[in-house]
Amino acid sequence: MGLFKWIVELFAGAKTTRIKVRINLAKEGSCWNYDLEADDQPSYPFVLAGNKINFPDGQPTSNIEFRLQGKAGQVLNFDLDTTAPVKEPIWVESGQCPTQCNPFPSDFRIVSRAANKLEIENRNLNVGDFYYRLNFVDNAGNKVHWDPIIRNGGGGGP
């Protein structure tokens, strides 16, 4: 059933849901603080309190665009270093917070990456919580990370 739905979306021109998320960040002393908020009206139903992104049952494939927004003079960019130990600006793992860069679950892939914007595709194939870690680097070259949650309802994509 999932494959059929994906084929219909692909060939019948059904829209992929596009979710724009703003990551608000601020450095207070030696600690960075983060939170997520929807960046436009269509994104509001999916971005929940507690920095969770929620995809209900049957929600189709979605592209999630993370855009960084910080206080003036505070620089924090996605870590685009492709060497160990980072390798990717985002790590995703089912059921627990990722502690290392592993292959992405079949639900996810990186669409594009830039210093202040990251876009991933979530095909919402499997029900359950996916924990992700966003990797950053500040203007002094320090590497920092943050790990919110994506809740898949299942039933989207192939």
Give the torsion through C-alpha atoms of 26, 32, 38, 43, to 10 deg: 150
What CATH number does the domain containing 46 carry? 2.60.40.420
In a domain, 64, yes or no: yes
pTM attached to this predicted model: 0.81
Residue entry with tokens 């979710």: 19
Give the count of domains, the chain.
1
In a domain, 157, yes or no: no
In a domain, 158, yes or no: no
Give the residue numbers spanning the domain of 114. Answer: 2-152
Per-residue model confidence (pLDDT) at position 1: 40
Say if residue 156's pLDDT is above 70.
Answer: no
Q: What is the per-residue pLDDT across 73-129, written as a single tens digit (0 to 9) for each? A: 888 999 998 877 778 899 998 888 888 888 888 888 999 999 999 999 988 888 888
Mean pLDDT of 53-69: 86
Confidence of residue 153 (pLDDT cuts 50, 70, 90): confident
* Closest by CA position to 52, among listed 155, 137, 128, 154: 128
* Closest by CA position to 21, among listed 117, 108, 105, 90: 117
